Chains A and B, each alone.
Chain A
Amino acid sequence: MLNYSRETILNTVLTLLLLGIPFAALAIDEPFYVTLATRVTIFALAGVGLNFALGLGGLISFGHAAFFGLGGYAVGILASHALNYEPLMSSPFEIEGTTQMVILWGVAMIVSGLAALIIGLFSLRTSGVYFIMITLAFAQMIYYFAISWPAYGGEDGLPIYVRNGFPGVNTLVPINFFMISFGVLMLAILLVAVLRNSRFGAALQAARQNEDRLSAVGIKPFYIRLAAFVISAMITGLAGALFADLNRFVSPSMLSWHTSGEIMVFVILGGVGRLFGPVAGAALFILFEFIFGGLTEHWMFFLGLVLLAVVLFARGGLIGTIAGKVRYD
């Protein structure tokens, strides 16, 4: 009970900080920090997606960049078609591009979810190191495909000339776009909290703890994991969509294994399986990049050391270190 309330307090503090910083930044006329906070928010959302598969389901996906990038490209491609007045497809029926965020998000989630369904059908038959390698391999395939496909920018990436629209909001105002991203992040965390406590969540967490036990009671771990992998990918894909809009640019680097690694770093730094772990992790990551990135170009090396320390001495990440182990009621 004590741990639980401590974690709740910590989560509340994190949320208020994330929400407060951009407004404080505006007050002191430092709009750059609004963008920084938006990056934290979107990275956290990508981490929330991975954390669902990894933290609750024990699925160590090293290919979540695929979903992040697909979400981004879904936005980039549709928006570029809309801006060029070129339909995406004209036969057998016509599909137009769009610049409506809500539609773009839906498409991004569907595309990432379908990709996860296919990748999961293959990769979830394996486990351990094989699973890590297969998810990585699929992501690399998509990465090289994006690089070698000139229609949408190839290696150079694809600019999005106008930020996409959201009903009743001027999305070009940074704080507005931050609020949209923040709202999406909170909804995603709420969704994960609900799923975690459901029957599905119970089965998923049991699959992580002991898959033989789950099978022996008559529940097939494979389908539980597949569904979790798809949900996880959809959340990370949504983050990719927002990231595309933040930068008004998508590039193959969103799909690269570096990105998969970074998303995993958010989860590990913050605390694997903790609801707000990715928020803490993404914030630490950006903070680290911001502080040490200015001092040395080898900041990634030092981040590596921190990561090593977390894995060796603070397995629960920031949240676990402060709030203690997870206890199930």
Chain B
Amino acid sequence: MRELWTMTRYDLRQRIRDRSVIIFAIIVPLALMFVLDLVLGDLTDPELQPTAVAAAAPAGDPLAAALVDVVRALDGAEGLDITVRTAAADEVHALTRDGTVQVGLIVPAGFGAALQQGRATEVTLVSGGGTGIEQSIVVSVVRSAVDRFSAAALAAAAGAEAGLPPADLAVIGQEVATAQSTIGFTEGVASNEQLSSTGALVAGQAGLFLLFTVGFGVTALVTEREQGTLARLKSMPMPAWTIVTAKALVSFILGIVATTVLLSVGGWFFDVSFGSPPAVAVLIVAAVTAATSLMFVIARVARTSEQANIAQSIIALVLGIAGGAFFQITAGGWVGSVLDLNPVSAFIRGLGVTSGGGGITDLGTPLLTMAGFTALVLVAARLIPDRGAVR
């Protein structure tokens, strides 16, 4: 144990002096995030314009008010800037026509009652010209809110058949509708496991470069052989496994530090929040463990540091690209299943969950994926005939 820590400590000291690990594990990926954001940013993340909405809702109708609130709640979410002003139903057309507002929303009189009684009712959306993405967002949000409200009203109707007084029914319907609307909104982000495009960029590059960073450990192992120090280490009074384990530990520590720095600096720079720090920390540890396990395979196949570098780069690029470090890849069938067992995509998906407000308990799938990957790789490392550096 003492030897393990001694080797790890002196190895880290050399990495820091050598600086290449700092450059390749932190500076290059940060620079790449910046460049990719410049290149891809315009395509995927258009600047959202401030949007004004004029909403007319009948007074004394709680469901109508709730619908307007749903639109109002969009303000501030995902970079949207939405201002809702209330107006009389006949004013809405005028306001949209003269461009004062970009979207008009008219909730008809008797909206709440109609929903509760299961009768047809019609919400009018007026477009104020132009085809902005902001308008589409408002429109689709209103649509899905109305759908949810109908479902809620059906629940209330079922209650009515059960003999509840109408006053209570109105409250139930309203509760179901508003409750679903708030829960539904957060869930929309978390369940899709979707990061914003810059969030995905930061997470993807962090995941990709993690695979390169842990590679420094295995390259170091082969370098030890080439510079002759491995022979000397093997003549020391300590079990042989401590040598490989020390390198794995170096990889692990470098991986943890680099990924934490990349997510923090990248998140700060691009204004992305990855959510609960403990949950993110768990994800980082799992991803670094999975990446480090690869080291044991490469240590068994690579005889020179060139071979180790090439093997490491191929694995990093394949896993990184397949895992969506640059763009999302979707595939079905067995290809999809293979792609799914990828620590990079699990890492990105996990960060999607945490950034959507998910905690450690919501990370089941990504954590299992990474644990499964680690286990498979370690088994493979045992099975592959050893022709590597540490024989």
Q: Do A and B come from one complex?
A: no
Residues of chain A having any CB pair with chain B under 8 Å:
none
Residues of chain B having any CB pair with chain A under 8 Å:
none
